[in-house]
Amino acid sequence: MTTILWLKALHIAFMVAWFAGIFYLPRLFVYHAESDNTEVHSQLKIMERRLLYFVTPFALLTLILGVALIYMMGYQWFIVSSWLHIKLALVAILFAYHGYCFKLLADFQHDRNTKSGKFYRIYNELPVLILFAVIILAVLKPGI
């Protein structure tokens, strides 16, 4: 049981670090999309790249530790935990979101962004909604 608690604690810690980054990155994209200043663009390009590459290992560690938790809990537990299947679907959406951030980063890096600040403001809200749902599922474990 101690191993499972350590895995949970580390899973949550890396998830928090990952989310800090994916909450802030689209905010940088908002500033970038709304600025006409080339010096600001140059600084934001550096910040965006560093941030995305900094938080990506946290995303991977969150995933690895989550898989380890599922493994430790056992196959039978996994099969009957329907709440977990929904949570995993939401996590898959988050990884797609994270991957799309690389595409958006490349667009900014090559001065090809065509999206507005409003798009990035809305884009910034998606992980918040998913985080709420994931926490509710993980804590309440509803028998869906």
> Which tens digits make up the pLDDT trace of 86-131?
999 999 999 999 999 999 999 999 999 999 999 999 999 999 999 9
pLDDT band at 52 (very low <50, low <70, confident <90, very high): very high
Residues 94/130, Cβ–Cβ less than 8 Å: yes
Instruction: For residue 76, give both structure tokens.
Output: 């039978």
Q: Is the pLDDT of residue 143 over 90?
A: no
Q: And the tokens for 100?
A: 């799309």
Give the whole-number percent of the chain exceeding pLDDT 90.
98
Q: How many Cβ atoms from other residues are within 10 Å of residue 110's Cβ?
A: 9
Q: What is the mean pLDDT of residues 56-71?
A: 98
pLDDT score for 1: 67
Share of the chain above pLDDT 70, in %: 99
Split at pLDDT 50, 70, 90, the class of 12 is: very high
How high is the mean pLDDT of the chain? 97
Give mean pLDDT, residues 18-43. 97
